[in-house]
Amino acid sequence: MQRKLMFVMALLMLSIYGFGQGFDEVEIKTSKLTEHIYLLEGAGGNVGIYAAKDGIVMIDNQFAQLSDKLKSAISNISDQQIKYLINTHWHGDHTGGNENFNTEHTTIVAHENVKKRLSTDQFTKAFNRSTPAKPMIYWPEITYDKNLKLHFENEDVRIIHVDHAHTDGDSFVFFPSENVLHMGDCFFNQRFPYIDLSAGGSIKGIIKAANTALMIADDDTTIIPGHGVVASKSDLMEYRDVLVMMLNQVEDAMRKGMSLNDLKVAGFDKGYESWGSGFIKTDAFINTIWTDLDRVEE
C-alpha cells in the first residue's frame, strides 16, 4: 500500500512540475478581477497581472512551454513592458518561464531562498527525485529576506515572506489600492495543499501563513490562490480551519499510538472528501502531516 501511494505521489509530482503534459492543448483563460489586475489560468500556478499605465507587474509564469501563450494573453491586456516578474516560490509550475520572460525590460524579484534553490541542485527525499540547478537567467535579480515594497506608479506593491510554509521561500503579493492578495501555493482553494517538506515546508508553517493572510485581508479582499478558483476571506478561513482540523486529528492519533495506515482509513476528511480530488489526495496529505510531525519529534 505504501509503495503504491508513493508511486501515485510521484506521478502527481511529475504533473506538478510539468512533465508529460499536453501543453499544445492548454488554453490561457483571462479574467479581469479589478480595474488593473487580471488572472491568467492555464497549466500550473495561477498568474497575476497588474497592468498600469507605464508597465506591468507579473506574478509567476507557469511552465516554459506556455510562455508564448502567456505573452499573447498579456498583449491583449496591455501593450506595456513587464517591469517586474515576482516569483512566489521556486517550483517549476510557477518559475518555468523565468528564462523566457527575463528580458532587458524585466527584473525578477523573489525571496532569497528562491534564488538559492533555483541556483543549486535540489533533491526531494519523499519522491527520490533530483531537480538540476537552473542557469543564471532563471534566477531572481532582486531578492529580499523579510518584506519588500515596490513603489510602482500609484501602487505600493507589498511582497511578504512567510516562513517554512509551502516551501522556505514563499511570498505573498499584496496590492493595497486594488485590495488583491496573491498567496502563491500557500493557498490551494478547496483542496489539500502540497507541502514541500524537502524544501523547508511544514504543516504548521502553512497554517501560520494562512493566519498571516487573514490579518492582511478584509471582507472585500480578492484572494488569488496558487491553485484553485479566486477566493474570498471566508474561503481562506475555511481552508485554515480544515488544515487545523486535519493537523489536530493526526496529532491526536499519533499520541494514541495509531499507525499511519490506521490514520489513512480513519475518515479524517469527513465532509471535505472533495478536497482530496486535486493534486494531493487525502492519503497523501495525511502522510505529509505524519512525516512532518515525525521528523519534528526526532
Domains defined along the chain, listed by start:
2-297 (3.60.15.10)
The pLDDT of 275-292, averaged and rounded, is 93
Please write the tens of the pLDDT for every residue from 176-228: 999 999 999 999 999 999 999 999 999 999 999 999 999 999 999 999 999 99
Contact 289, 250 (CB under 8 A): yes
Query: What proportion of the chain, given as a percentage, has pLDDT over 90?
Result: 83
Is residue 17 over pLDDT 80? Answer: no
Is residue 20 over pLDDT 80? Answer: no
The pLDDT of 12-31, averaged and rounded, is 69
Is residue 295 over pLDDT 80? Answer: no
Is residue 15 over pLDDT 60? Answer: no
Residue (of 1, 295, 5, 262) closest to 127 by Cα position: 5
Confidence band of 3 (pLDDT split at 50, 70, 90): very low
Cα separation, 186 vs 207, whole angstroms: 9
Confidence band of 66 (pLDDT split at 50, 70, 90): very high
Confidence band of 279 (pLDDT split at 50, 70, 90): confident
Tell me the pTM: 0.92
Please write the tens of the pLDDT for every residue from 132-185: 999 999 999 999 999 999 998 889 999 999 999 999 999 999 999 999 999 999
Which three cell numbers, joined as nine digits, stand for 43?
A: 497549466
Residue-wise DSSP of 107-154: EEEEEHHHHHHHSS-EEEGGGTEEEPPPPGGGS-SEEESSEEEEEETT
